[in-house]
Amino acid sequence: MTPAVIGRMSAGTLPGLAGKVVFNTGAARGIGHAMSHAFVRHGARLMLLDVDQTALGKARDALQAQFPAAEIEMCVASIADDRAVERSVAATIERFGRIDILLNNAGISMNKPSLDVTPEEWRQTIDIDLSGVFYCSQAAARRMVGQGGGVILSTASMFGLVSAARRAAYCASKAAVVSLCKTLAVEWAEHNIRVNAICPGYIRTALVDDLIARGALDEGVIERRTPLGRLGTPEEVAEMALFLASDAAAYITGHAMVADGGFTANGF
């Protein structure tokens, strides 16, 4: 993260985050890693999960080097494996005694003409981008119920709210995540669990860099189509997560909030 970016980010001022136990999926890179950085900066304790052990270890080590006093653990699992999710959540309870905030970040893209999508590709996208979010939410919420509440934030996408060609499985998954968040928000409000969806537009991460490199996305077209004229940064999404997880957002639940530079507001 560059000094210019860090200078724009909040530094430990949002209420109700210090000491909280955060379970963060997809934490090895991208938006997930930026969220780890943001929450640890606000005094949270972290359990990082990713399927990529090497990258996750590097991400954890980098955070620990920057915040030597922080409590940061990691577990390697696929969120598409419900039993591995349960084991990871149980390990978090064993280590920290609770889970206050679940960040459902892990996800994959699927950008391909719908006529060519194979059943395997369809299932893989739904398994990770939708079912994985449910498995993590359910496993964490079972603990949150017993501890008197919690917060669940799921990184859906602006493509959970609007659609685009060649993204059938991705858009379907992300729209379902938005709907899932609303259902869980209504159902778990009585347990003091707030559930919200985060809907980023195009954010500069490995996921988007890969699509640009493969010619599936045109960076110039995205910039011209986006009213703010640029892609977003992972840190800008992390700032929204901090707010939604904090007590500053205590009355916000069942909401899908965009950070997209105005992309979805633009009719052209």
Ligand X SMILES: NC(=O)c1ccc[n+]([C@@H]2O[C@H](COP(=O)([O-])OP(=O)(O)OC[C@H]3O[C@@H](n4cnc5c(N)ncnc54)[C@H](O)[C@@H]3O)[C@@H](O)[C@H]2O)c1
Catalytic residues: 170
User: In the complex, what is the shortest distance from the CB of residue 228 to ligand X, in angstroms, rounded to a whole number?
Assistant: 14
Nearer to ligand X by Cβ, of 226 and 253: the residue is 226
CA-to-CA separations, 251 to 148, 189, 195, 254, in angstroms, rounded: 16, 11, 11, 10
CA gap 106, 101 in Å, rounded: 15
Nearer to ligand X by Cβ, of 137 and 205: the residue is 205
User: In the complex, what is the shortest distance from the CB of residue 148 to ligand X, in angstroms, rounded to a whole number?
Assistant: 28
177: Cβ–Cβ under 8 A, 6 or more apart, which residues?
Answer: 104, 129, 130, 133, 154, 156, 160, 197
Residues that bind ligand X (CB under 6 A): 25-26, 28-32, 50-52, 55, 78-80, 105-108, 128, 132, 155, 157, 200, 202-203, 205-208
Nearer to ligand X by Cβ, of 78 and 246: the residue is 78
User: In the complex, what is the shortest distance from the CB of residue 107 to ligand X, in angstroms, rounded to a whole number?
Assistant: 2
Classify residue 126 by its DSSP letter: I
79, 132 contact by CB (below 8 A): yes
CB count within 10 Å of CB 67 equals 16
User: In the complex, what is the shortest distance from the CB of residue 263 to ligand X, in angstroms, rounded to a whole number?
Assistant: 10
CA-to-CA separations, 14 to 153, 261, 262, in angstroms, rounded: 16, 23, 25
The tokens of 149 are what? 């509440």
Nearer to ligand X by Cβ, of 82 and 145: the residue is 82
